[in-house]
Each structure stands twice: as structure tokens, then as C-alpha cells.
Structure 1
Amino acid sequence: MLLMRQVTVLGSCGAYPEPGRACSGFLVEWDGFRVVLDLGYATLPRLLAHCPDGAVDAVVITHEHPDHCIDLHGLFRMYLYGENRGRKLPLYCTPGVLDRLGALEPEVDLRTVFTVRELPGTYRVGPFELGALLLPHYVPNAGIRLQTDEFALAYTGDTGPDPLLAELGRNTDLYIVEATDRAGERQQQHRNLLTAEEAGYWAAQAGARRLMLTHFWPGNNREAAAAAARSTFDGEVLTADEDLVVRLGPS
């Protein structure tokens, strides 16, 4: 069996998906182990193109906003009624996720499918040590770090500027950072989202080797976002585009 060490972009939009795209979602594969980071609008069909029947080993959801979690409910229904019926799937999430999704179909219990572990926390997830830090947002949001002896990846979910971003992404091989660049964001009194320039700044503070920008506000120019990030970050800057595959770890 060919062992894959890679991350595949399932979705890259913030708020709602643009045509042909999806909201936040990433598939991380490491030597046959598959973990999903977020499942926003329109990510489930893309996940199924890579993992038929939704056959993944764990799911991590950063927070309860639907552009990060709504398609988890579709995956739940696949496990409830489909070929994976009876199999329990580990789910790591902030507390509000179950409340938000449970309201969609209160007559069924999400815990019949998911073995739930609360974030923030530190867990062993297959080959990874999973760590999480609470980052500023409108609701509790967990920045995620996946680490092996050889490799580290971090993902912010949504976040405002915060020194914890440097800690979360410290010396990572790949740092996936939201770069919403919503109009007027810098004028907000209480910051809950980043600009691309700020994403670059925090990746530089973390000492990350590569930066991937994601969570683009619909209609934003992604090339301009990458240029803004490069003004504050000297490493490689990638933009998350659906179906982009990035190799992980030592070559």
C-alpha cells in the first residue's frame, strides 16, 4: 500500500461558498490515517470523492459556525443510515457544535454516531498528538495543532489577532491561517477575524516554514491576499484552493 502524507483542501471560503468552491474543510492523511479538520458548507461531497462512504478515522471541528461544521450533520446521517452503520467515529469539537447541529434533528442523538471529546484539550489521535488553544472569535473557537515526531501542522479555524497564534503555529511545517480580509475588519473594536497581512505576520512570529491562507471572504482577490501575506512572511505562501494537495513531512 502506498502511504500518503498530505493535506487536501476540501473548502476555502468563509461565510458561504462561491460557485465551484466550498467553505472551510481539510483532509489530513498520514500513513493511512485520515483526520478531517472542519466540514463547512459543500465540503462533504468533496470529502466523499477522496473517502468513499465517509471512511475517515477522526473529525475535528474548530467551532459551531455553520461554515465550519454544517456538513458534519450529513456525515452523521451517512453513519446513521449508510454502510458505516454501527461504527463510532471520534469527534473532537468545542461544546457548541453538538448543540448547534443537534437542533437540526433533535429526535436523533449525535452521540449514537460520534464518540465526542471536548476541545480545548490534548489527545492522542492515531499518529498525531492533537493540541488545541482557544482563540478569539464570536463563539468558542479552538485552534488546532497536529504533531508527530517528524512533523507539525497547525490550523486556526477563525480568529482575531492574538499572541497565542505564535504559540499554536510554533515551528510548524505548514500553518493554515484564516485570512478573511472582510471589508472594515481593522476598524472593528473587538477583532474576531484576520487580514492576509496579519496572517503572514503571525506565521512569521510562529517561525512556520509554510503558510496556507484560507477562509477567504467571497469575492476577494486571492492573489492580492497572497501578496499581502508575503509582505510580512518570508516563507512559502500558498492559497487554499479546492482539491489542492500539499505534501507533508520529510520528503
Structure 2
Amino acid sequence: MADPEKLLRRFVRVIGCAPPYPSAGWPTSSHLIGFDDQRILLDCGHGAVQELLKHCSIEDLTAVVISHMHPDHWFDLAALRNVCFHRGITDLTVALPIGGLDIVRRVGEAINQGETYFEDVLSFIEYDSNSMPLFGTMLSGDLANHEWPARMPRLDFLDGGVVAYTGDTGLASHVGPSLGSPDLLIVECNDVGPRFTSGRTMKHVNGGELGALLAQVTPKVSLVTHYDVEFKDEIFRTVLERNSGLNVVMASPGVIVEW
């Protein structure tokens, strides 16, 4: 059987889409963007590398973009670093939000490996809301509405097309305009379930808010991620109540969406 990735010009493959607590076979946030011969990984959460290797060799991985420095979005960089080290790869680009490199260095020191433990193998850059070139795209990321200074990565392709990713964010007046009207929107929906019934301090999006956001942004394709699978049907039903005409896909590991 032909590899479906080779038949698609542009796609996203879900590597992980669980909320901060992974479950069996469901790594946390990680999404592989494919176009031409490039492969860019958006986030690298718990368990992501093991799932990634089922679909993409490390040698074929072009770059990694991290939305923010909460563990469920970047901690598997440690596994990625070790795979690269043992395969002699020392030039994989990893784009961190501004301030992220300091955290990476402090983690290296905290595990008694020294502050350059990650940098000895991976090639780090930092990004913010200003566009910077990244392998056939322009990468930028406005601030999200989240506890840590989180970013909403956006990839503008030099030959046309846009992928936007909310990372972790609650709704705020700037979120919709920052995302624009992308061809593909990867959007979180983690504010669902009993742990969010008091206070709503986590700054995530619930199903109703997600429906409102999609109605504002109107992406060509929406991939809903970073959710508890127990509430999958509830989220999908709530979103479609407001957006029956939109192309909305609920993420699950291994799923491919063309855009």
C-alpha cells in the first residue's frame, strides 16, 4: 500500500492530542506538518517521539516548533535529543518561544547534565510575533491567553497557505484576529470535564467557546486537539451546533488531514 503522506501535497498528521494527562496510545500535544519534502513538528509533548517514529524518521524531520514551555508541550524534547545524539544528528532546528531557551538550560542543570545538555545536540532559535524564516515558511506567534507566556504559532508558506495553532489559550479579544483566517487551524479544547467546574482558572477553551472562535476565524479545515477523549462526542456536538457548515476534524493519534 502506498504511503498516504506521499500522495498529499500538504497535510498534518496527529502525533499526540491528549490533554496534560496522557492515556494509553494517546501522547500529549504534537502535530506533524508535511509539505513538499519538509516535516515540521508542532509541539513535542509526553510520548510524542515514540509515536512520531512510527511515521517519520528523525533524519526526515526538518524542524520543531514549541508553542510554550508547559511540560505536556515540550518534555519529549529530551527523548528527541537522545535519538538525535545516538544517530549523530546535531543540526535539527528547534524554535522556542522567547524565554524558552533559558528554561531548557535550567532543566539541563536540574538533571545534573549541565545547561548545554540540549544545545549540544539540538539547534535552538527563539521566536515571537515578528515573522522569521523557517524552511519554506515564515514563523511567527502572537501571545496566547494562558498562564505562561505562551505563543500561538503561525506558519505562512512562501508559496501560499497558512497553518495556525492555538497552542494553549483561553478566549480573549486578540485571539481571533491573531489567528486570522488560516487554511488549517489546529485548535485546543481542554476546558471540558469536572476538573474545570470551579473557577475556570486554567485559560483553555471549552466547546461553546471553540464554536464561537471557529465562527469568527472560519478556517478551511479545523483540527480539534488537546482534549480528553472521554468528552470527544460532547465537544464535537457542541462545536457543530454553531458551525454545521465547517470542516471540523477531531484529532486522534495517527490521523492525517489534508489541507
Contact 2:105–2:117 at 8 Å: present in 1 too? no
1:93 alignment partner, SS class:
strand
Q: Name 1:139's counterpart in structure 2.
A: 148
Q: TM-score, normalised by structure 2?
A: 0.86
Q: Per-residue deviation at 1:61?
A: 0.5
Question: Aligned partners of 2:93 and 2:118: how far apart in 1?
Answer: 12
Q: Name 2:37's counterpart in structure 1.
A: 32
1:98 and 2:101 are equivalent in the alignment = no
Question: Aligned partners of 2:248 and 2:95: how far apart in 1?
Answer: 28
Listed one character per residue, the Cα deviations across residues 129-155 of structure 1 (whole Å, up to 9, x for unaligned) are 111011121211110111224311111
Q: Which of the residues 196, 200, 204 maps onto 2:207? A: 196
Question: Aligned partners of 1:33 and 1:166: how far apart in 2?
Answer: 28
Q: Per-residue deviation at 1:246?
A: 0.7
1:180 and 2:180 are equivalent in the alignment = no
My pick for the range that moved more, 8-17 or 121-130, is 121-130
Listed one character per residue, the Cα deviations across residues 158-213 of structure 1 (whole Å, up to 9, x for unaligned) are 11111222123312111111101333647536551110221221122112222211
Listed one character per residue, the Cα deviations across residues 98-156 of structure 1 (whole Å, up to 9, x for unaligned) are 24642345335321222222131421111111110111212111101112243111111
Q: Name 1:77's counterpart in structure 2.
A: 82
1:159 and 2:162 are equivalent in the alignment = no
Aligned amino acid, residue 106 of structure 1: Q
Question: Aligned partners of 2:258 and 2:112: how far apart in 1?
Answer: 38
1:140 alignment partner, SS class:
coil
Q: Name 2:258's counterpart in structure 1.
A: 247
Contact 2:15–2:51 at 8 Å: present in 1 too? yes
Question: Aligned partners of 1:163 and 1:15: how far apart in 2?
Answer: 25
Q: TM-score, normalised by structure 1?
A: 0.89
Gaps of 5+ in 1: none
Contact 1:200–1:211 at 8 Å: present in 2 too? no
Q: Per-residue deviation at 1:2?
A: 6.2
Name the count of aligned residue pairs: 245
Aligned sequence identity (%): 28
Alignment CA distance shift 1:246-1:100 (3 Å): farther
Aligned amino acid, residue 20 of structure 2: A
My pick for the range that moved more, 121-130 or 19-28, is 121-130
Q: Name 2:3's counterpart in structure 1.
A: none
Q: Per-residue deviation at 1:75?
A: 0.6
Contact 1:165–1:206 at 8 Å: present in 2 too? no
1:169 and 2:179 are equivalent in the alignment = yes
